Amino acid sequence: DARVTQTPRHKVTEMGQEVTMRCQPILGHNTVFWYRQTMMQGLELLAYFRNRAPLDDSGMPKDRFSAEMPDATLATLKIQPSEPRDSAVYFCASGLVPGGNQPQHFGDGTRLSIL
């Protein structure tokens, strides 16, 4: 089965450090989504891309977060500088459009802890 691959699976770092999370979408998928999951806020959409172009990043704190797709096989989410409140599980999902009835496919996430 094709899968969305996220690296690293776990990351522990100190406040102020730069964090980069990577996502390899399913081959052929042309939309990529970044979500954050916490106990308090649940599942939040941070940003999404179509054909590598950012469509909406309104859910993302602009001052410290950035999302890019350098090529069709790689999406990155960066936090600089990181803060303890950024501790969460970050998920990447990919999908295919047109075809709004197609599901998004999720990776297994990056569990981020900022000390």
Partner 1 sequence: AQSVAQPEDQVNVAEGNPLTVKCTYSVSGNPYLFWYVQYPNRGLQFLLKYITGDNLVKGSYGFEAEFNKSQTSFHLKKPSALVSDSALYFCAVRPVGTGGGNKLTFGTGTQLKVEL
Determine, following the binding rule CB under 8 A, whether residue 90 of this chain makes contact with partner 1. Answer: no
Determine, following the binding rule CB under 8 A, whether residue 56 of this chain makes contact with partner 1. Answer: yes
Among 38, 55, 84, 115, binds partner 1 (CB under 8 A): 55
Least Å from the CB of residue 31 to partner 1:
5
Among 21, 48, 79, 112, binds partner 1 (CB under 8 A): 48
Least Å from the CB of residue 105 to partner 1:
7
Between 15 and 43, name the residue whose CB sits nearer to partner 1. Answer: 43
Distances (CA, A) of 5 to 13, 17, 25, 83, 114: 21, 23, 7, 25, 22
Q: How many angstroms separate the CA atoms of 12 and 87, rounded?
A: 9
Instruction: With CB under 8 A as the rule, give the number of residues binding partner 1.
Output: 27
Distances (CA, A) of 80 to 16, 30, 86: 7, 27, 11
Determine, following the binding rule CB under 8 A, whether residue 25 of this chain makes contact with partner 1. Answer: no
Determine, following the binding rule CB under 8 A, whether residue 110 of this chain makes contact with partner 1. Answer: no
Q: Indicate the DSSP class of residue 84.
A: G
Q: How many angstroms separate the CA atoms of 21 and 25, rounded?
A: 13
Q: How many angstroms separate the CA atoms of 33 and 23, rounded?
A: 10
Among 14, 99, 113, 115, binds partner 1 (CB under 8 A): 99
